[in-house]
Amino acid sequence: MLKLGVIGTGWITKQFVAAARATNAFELTAVYSRHEESAQSFINQTAPATAYTKMDDFLGSDVDVVYIASPNSLHASQALAALDANKHVIVEKPLVATAMEFEKLDEALHKKTSLYLFEAARHVYEHNFQVVNDFTHRQQIDGATLTYMKYSSKYDAFLAGKLPNVFNPEFAGGALMDLGIYLVYDAVAWFGVPDNAVYLPHFLKSGVDGDGVARLDYGDFSVTLITGKTTNSSLPSEIYSGRQTLTMDNAAELVTIKLDDQVLSTEKLANPMEAEAAYFAKAITGQDRNAFDKAWQLAKEVHQVMSILRTSANLDF
Ligand X SMILES: NC(=O)c1ccc[n+]([C@@H]2O[C@H](COP(=O)([O-])OP(=O)(O)OC[C@H]3O[C@@H](n4cnc5c(N)ncnc54)[C@H](OP(=O)(O)O)[C@@H]3O)[C@@H](O)[C@H]2O)c1
**Could you give the string, one character per residue 99-138, with x where binding to ligand X holds by CB under 6 A and - elsewhere?**
---------------------x-x----------------
Helix (H) or strand (E) holding 211: strand 209-217
Of 23, 38, 245, 265, the residue at the interface with ligand X (CB under 6 A) is 38
Is 303 a residue that touches ligand X (CB under 6 A)? no
Is 201 a residue that touches ligand X (CB under 6 A)? no
E-only strand ranges, 64-150: 65-68, 88-92, 117-120, 143-149
The number of helices, as runs of H, and strands, as runs of E, in the chain is: 11, 14
* Residues paired with 147 in a beta bridge: 226
Nearest residue (CB) to ligand X, 227 versus 241: 227
Is 168 a residue that touches ligand X (CB under 6 A)? no
**Piece of the chain touching ligand X by CB under 6 A; list 28-36, 58-66, 239-247, 262-270:** 28-36
Greatest alpha-carbon span in the chain: 59
Is 70 a residue that touches ligand X (CB under 6 A)? yes
Is 8 a residue that touches ligand X (CB under 6 A)? yes
Counting every residue, how long is the chain? 317
- Shortest distance, position 48 Cβ to ligand X, whole Å: 18
* DSSP per-residue string spanning 20-56: HHHTTSEEEEEEE-SSHHHHHHHHHHS---EEES-HH
Which residue minimizes CB distance to ligand X? 10
- Shortest distance, position 64 Cβ to ligand X, whole Å: 21
Is 18 a residue that touches ligand X (CB under 6 A)? no
Give the CA-trace dihedral at 272, 274, 276, 277, to 10 degrees. Answer: 140
Which residues contact residue 28 at a Cβ distance below 8 angstroms, ignoring those fewer than 6 apart?
4, 5, 6, 17, 20, 21, 46, 47, 48, 49
Nearest residue (CB) to ligand X, 145 versus 165: 165
Is 312 a residue that touches ligand X (CB under 6 A)? no
Of 2, 3, 12, 291, the residue at the interface with ligand X (CB under 6 A) is 12
Is 40 a residue that touches ligand X (CB under 6 A)? no
Is 150 a residue that touches ligand X (CB under 6 A)? no
Of 71, 169, 180, 210, the residue at the interface with ligand X (CB under 6 A) is 71
Check: CB of residue 47 under 8 Å from CB of residue 28: yes
- Shortest distance, position 243 Cβ to ligand X, whole Å: 35
E-only strand ranges, 48-114: 50-52, 65-68, 88-92
Q: Is the dihedral of CA 43, 47, 49, 54 positive or negative?
A: negative
Of 2, 10, 112, 247, the residue at the interface with ligand X (CB under 6 A) is 10
Nearest residue (CB) to ligand X, 159 versus 263: 159
Is 73 a residue that touches ligand X (CB under 6 A)? no
Helices 289-312 and 99-111, axial angle in degrees (round to 10):
160
Is 230 a residue that touches ligand X (CB under 6 A)? no
Q: Identify residues 253-292 at the interface with ligand X (CB under 6 A).
A: none
Distances (CA, A) of 22 to 44, 49, 155, 164, 271: 18, 17, 32, 31, 10
How are beta strands 143-149 and 262-266 bridged, if at all?
Answer: unpaired
**Piece of the chain touching ligand X by CB under 6 A; list 6-14, 21-29, 103-111, 195-203:** 6-14
Chain residues that interact with ligand X, rule: CB under 6 A: 8-10, 12, 33-35, 38, 69-72, 74, 92-93, 120, 122, 165-166, 178
